[in-house]
Structure 1
Amino acid sequence: MDKIAVVILNWNGVKLLEQFLPSVIQFSEGASIYVADNDSTDNSVDFVTENFPTVKIVKNSENHGFAKGYNDALKHIDAEIFALVNSDIEVTENWLKPIIETFDTENQTAIIQPKILDFKNKEYFEYAGAAGGFIDKFGYPFCRGRIFETIEKDNGQFDDNIEIFWASGACFFIRKKVFQELGGFDESFFAHQEEIDLCWRASNEGHIIKYNCKSVVYHVGGATLQQGNPKKTYLNFRNSLLMMVKNLPRRRLFFVIFFRMILDGIAGIRFLTQGKVGHTFAILKAHFSFYCLSLKYIGKRKDFQIQQYYMVKSIVFLYYIRKLTLFKEIFNSIQNIKN
């Protein structure tokens, strides 16, 4: 069994592989490197085979998206640690060393995220994960270094190794045994929020998720599905609701879901006033899909859910009403309430 396997999920991404795979090969000494191909119709597989013979190929039968794509591919890979890496990630020298050291010395740590910076503007954090993720009471995700539209410059303010609530799927390290015990990603999600759901389920089982600043990667972001795409809006809003049905503490379930749907409605109206009609319809479609799937997802609930899953009650209120746009401001507001 390998110590660590770096697994890059690919779908018609030959240009990204050409640009970013060399850094993974150069700086991943001692790791096995795989490209898990989601039935690409371009020449991705031939390109990797011809140009990078040390990289192993796992072929999926069709494009199952992020969740099932990884679930299927990882069944064929034997390693203690899976490093799930987007095809638009540039890694840096020694990026694996601090991750492996943490796993070796901290038995309860099951999932780790590195520092994720913006490939296009390397002094700034990247939207998808930044310096580690959290959620509010109503399931809205945010990160240290990224809250909604505000992206922070990396001034060393998050040069620490701390426990977080969720790790970004853009660069996601997990112990194989934990991934298998949890049943992998929820395949019904297809893409988006599946890593938050997996981390939430891991927390419910007593595992720890951490951020490690000593491992640094650069992410293009939106290379496969742009931020402004209504399909992404649909998947994010639908999957967030489904994730909460599975993982919320029972006594909070009805109230939180009900209030969250009201907030989603307000978001839909906001999109409408901005002329983004497609996003408004995406939210309506997400809610309709949620209604159809909710009973199925109630059946996925486990016996135990952690009670304190959120960092703040409403990141929407703090950001849009109180105008707290930086993580430090959010954190200070929490400390003031406690004091």
Structure 2
Amino acid sequence: MCSISSRASVSVVVVNWNRRDLLRASLSSLASQRMPERFHVVVVDNGSDDGSARMAEQEFGNEPAFHLTLIRNSENRGFCAANNQGIHAAQSDFVALLNNDAEADGGWLQALLSAFKHGSSVGMAASKILVYEDPRKIDKVGHLIYLDGQNRGRGSGEFDRGQYDRIEEVLWPDGCAAMYRREMLDTIGSFDEDFFAYADDAELGLRARIAGWKCLYIPTAVVRHHRGATLGLRSAKRLELIERNRILLAAKLFPWSLLWLNGVFYLIRIGAGLAAALRGKGEASRHPGFRGKIQI
């Protein structure tokens, strides 16, 4: 185990688009962090018209727990570009991300920071993310990936019975609540803005793993997440981006020998979805996945 400087700087980036009340709750959870000294929070507002930026400035501009930097975009630049803006503005040794629809337990930030004491090759730290509406259930505890480029939250949908209560290496963290080493980001780059949103954390995580960086899952870094609150869990746009970015991820980072599987699994998924639609189940009749493929 290696040490990290007691004066290591930490920042948290929060991206927001028209979710004032959720943003308030997220920032309030950061104000309750048990940190030994003041840290830095960067809110990147993607052109909200609901008063989100004004609320953040007025209610958290003089927060004792953290120094607030507010970046106001004139339009929705997406999750990736906005996070990159925040990461650049942070200029700290370690950068955490927290979704605007997530609330962190008081020990979250300090727990994530402890991951980097486990070696200089640890470039990423993953949280235990629980479902806000039912915190007995796991949203994600790190990530898994499949041969067609689909990535899925490890433990997603399981009841939290303590089965993920030990520190362990995982593939990469979910971008909802993650921490990254600045040195790693300076070396490999940050988020790929081709993705706009969804699968962006998978692309960054895979790129980091290929470059030799590791990710540790820290079970005491607990966050509660309102799933799909930004675009809506059943949003056609969300489903389009997920399907589009699945193939984009495979095309960018998978070996040629695996790329053919993407088309095979896509046809299987669409076939299963159509069969469900014919039985009056699911939402496959809207075919957002088809639109996602066409837009590549």
With normalisation by structure 1, the TM-score equals 0.77
Identify which of 242, 258, 261 aligns with 2:263: 258
* Residues in 2 aligned to 1:177 and 1:12: alpha-carbon distance in whole angstroms: 32
* Residues in 1 aligned to 2:129 and 2:116: alpha-carbon distance in whole angstroms: 19
Q: Partner of 2:49 in structure 1?
A: 41
Q: Taking structure 1 as reference, are residues 131 and 288 closer, same or farther at Cα in structure 2, changes over 3 Å only? A: same
Q: Taking structure 1 as reference, are residues 213 and 77 closer, same or farther at Cα in structure 2, changes over 3 Å only? A: same
Give the drift of 1:165.
1.8
Give the drift of 1:62.
2.2
Give the drift of 1:201.
0.9
Q: What is the DSSP-based 3-state SS (H/G/I as helix, E as strand, rest coil) of the residue aligned with 2:90?
A: coil
* Residues in 1 aligned to 2:177 and 2:44: alpha-carbon distance in whole angstroms: 15
**Which consecutive unaligned segments of at least 5 residues does structure 2 have?**
1-6
Offset from partner CA, 1:193-233 (integer Å, 9 cap, x none): 11111111111111112211021111112111222112111
Identify which of 227, 230, 244 aligns with 1:238: 244
Say yes or no: does 1:137 pair with 2:147: yes
Give the drift of 1:262.
2.1
Say yes or no: does 1:269 pair with 2:274: yes
Counterpart AA for 2:106: E
Q: Taking structure 1 as reference, are residues 80 and 168 closer, same or farther at Cα in structure 2, changes over 3 Å only? A: same
Offset from partner CA, 1:56-108 (integer Å, 9 cap, x none): 21223421110111112322221011111001211112212222122133211
| Equivalent residues of 1:10, 1:36 under 8 A apart | yes
* Residues in 2 aligned to 1:73 and 1:92: alpha-carbon distance in whole angstroms: 22
Say yes or no: does 1:59 pair with 2:64: no
Say yes or no: does 1:123 pair with 2:136: yes
Counterpart AA for 2:145: I
Calculate percent identity across the aligned residue pairs: 27
Counterpart AA for 1:89: A
Q: What is the DSSP-based 3-state SS (H/G/I as helix, E as strand, rest coil) of the residue aligned with 1:157?
A: coil
- 1:250-329 alignment to 2 at 5 Å? 250-253=256-259, 255-270=260-275, 272-273=277-278, 274=280, 280-290=286-296
Q: Taking structure 1 as reference, are residues 209 and 105 closer, same or farther at Cα in structure 2, changes over 3 Å only? A: closer
Give the drift of 1:280.
4.2
Instruction: Point out the more displaced range, 115-124 or 15-24.
Output: 15-24
* Residues in 2 aligned to 1:173 and 1:267: alpha-carbon distance in whole angstroms: 37
With normalisation by structure 2, the TM-score equals 0.88
Number of residue-to-residue matches in the alignment:
282
Say yes or no: does 1:174 pair with 2:180: yes
Q: Partner of 1:73 in structure 2?
A: 86
Offset from partner CA, 1:4-59 (integer Å, 9 cap, x none): 10111111221112223212111153321221111222211211221112322122
| Equivalent residues of 1:60, 1:73 under 8 A apart | no
**Which consecutive unaligned segments of at least 5 residues does structure 1 have?**
291-339
Give the drift of 1:276.
5.4
- Structure 1 runs (4+) greater than 4 angstroms displaced: 275-280
| Equivalent residues of 1:4, 1:79 under 8 A apart | yes
Q: Taking structure 1 as reference, are residues 165 and 266 closer, same or farther at Cα in structure 2, changes over 3 Å only? A: farther
Q: What is the DSSP-based 3-state SS (H/G/I as helix, E as strand, rest coil) of the residue aligned with 1:47?
A: helix
| Equivalent residues of 2:273, 2:284 under 8 A apart | no
* Residues in 1 aligned to 2:208 and 2:135: alpha-carbon distance in whole angstroms: 31
Q: What is the DSSP-based 3-state SS (H/G/I as helix, E as strand, rest coil) of the residue aligned with 1:123?
A: strand
Q: Partner of 2:214 in structure 1?
A: 208
Q: Taking structure 1 as reference, are residues 270 and 80 closer, same or farther at Cα in structure 2, changes over 3 Å only? A: farther
Counterpart AA for 2:57: T
Q: Partner of 2:202 in structure 1?
A: 196
Give the drift of 1:144.
2.8
Identify which of 35, 40, 43 aligns with 1:32: 40
| Equivalent residues of 2:128, 2:221 under 8 A apart | yes
* Residues in 2 aligned to 1:3 and 1:94: alpha-carbon distance in whole angstroms: 17
Identify which of 110, 120, 133 aligns with 2:123: 110
Give the drift of 1:279.
5.7
Say yes or no: does 1:18 pair with 2:18: no
Q: What is the DSSP-based 3-state SS (H/G/I as helix, E as strand, rest coil) of the residue aligned with 1:196?
A: helix
* Residues in 2 aligned to 1:182 and 1:61: alpha-carbon distance in whole angstroms: 28
Q: What is the DSSP-based 3-state SS (H/G/I as helix, E as strand, rest coil) of the residue aligned with 1:27?
A: coil
| Equivalent residues of 1:234, 1:282 under 8 A apart | yes
Counterpart AA for 1:152: E
* Residues in 1 aligned to 2:235 and 2:215: alpha-carbon distance in whole angstroms: 29
